């Protein structure tokens, strides 16, 4: 009789155990910071052609000229890139130099994106095959890197820059001097 009763209640016990494991994962606070493998390392060597007329392309050497700057990885087809555009324009207005890598995109699409959303970039390189993006350890768009004047990554911002991130980014650029 005991074995039959156990066999009858075992599926419910297994379900309750699985439910408890899943529920504990839902209520436990998630890690908010994604650790980047590139922080503390030099940018990989790259030379990207210009994306739009009137703006130079981008090379890793341009980040080793003694002045910290941002490197923004974006695309015209990226909705969160539109959301972060006002923050990038604000950073530019307060004197933060910003360069960009356009991922899997075309010159007309990028030119339209910049016309509609503003152009905070000094240089834009075209990474049609995402090779530089992958070498940076970037998993998507947008992503932004704070690079010191020696070409070393000091901070990575995954996802769109929000208004509450601006002060933190400005401080990271100041600290990178």
Q: How many CB atoms lie within 10 A of CB 12?
A: 9
The pair of structure tokens assigned to 18 is: 């699985």
Look at the pTM and tell me if it is higher than 0.95.
no
Predicted pLDDT of residue 37? 78
Phi and psi at 46, nearest 5°, equal -155, 160
Query: What is the tens place of the pLDDT at every residue in 76-98?
Result: 999 999 999 999 999 999 999 99
Within 8 A by CB and 6+ apart from 66, the residues are: 149, 150
Question: What distances in angstroms separate CA 140 from CA 15, 41, 159, one per listed residue?
Answer: 37, 20, 8
Mean pLDDT of the chain: 91
Question: What distances in angstroms separate CA 58 from CA 48, 84, 98, one per listed residue?
Answer: 5, 21, 11
Predicted pLDDT of residue 1? 57
**H/E segment holding residue 24:** helix 2-27
């Amino acid at each position: 009789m005991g074995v039959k009763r156990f066999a009858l209640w075992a599926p419910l016990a297994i379900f309750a155990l699985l439910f408890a494991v899943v529920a504990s994962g839902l209520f436990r606070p998630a890690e908010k910071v994604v650790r980047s493998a590139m922080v503390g390392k030099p940018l990989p060597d790259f030379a990207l052609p210009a994306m739009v007329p009137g703006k130079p392309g981008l090379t890793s050497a341009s980040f080793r000229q003694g002045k910290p700057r941002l490197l923004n990885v974006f695309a015209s087809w990226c909705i969160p890139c539109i959301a972060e555009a006002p923050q990038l324009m604000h950073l530019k207005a307060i004197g933060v130099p910003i360069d960009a890598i356009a991922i899997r995109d075309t010159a007309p699409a990028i030119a339209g994106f910049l016309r509609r959303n503003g152009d905070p970039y000094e240089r834009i390189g075209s990474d049609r095959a995402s090779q530089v993006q992958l070498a940076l350890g970037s998993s998507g768009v947008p992503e932004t890197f704070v690079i010191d004047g020696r070409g070393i990554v000091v901070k990575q911002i995954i996802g769109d820059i929000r208004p509450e991130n601006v002060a933190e980014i400005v401080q990271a650029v100041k600290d990178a001097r």
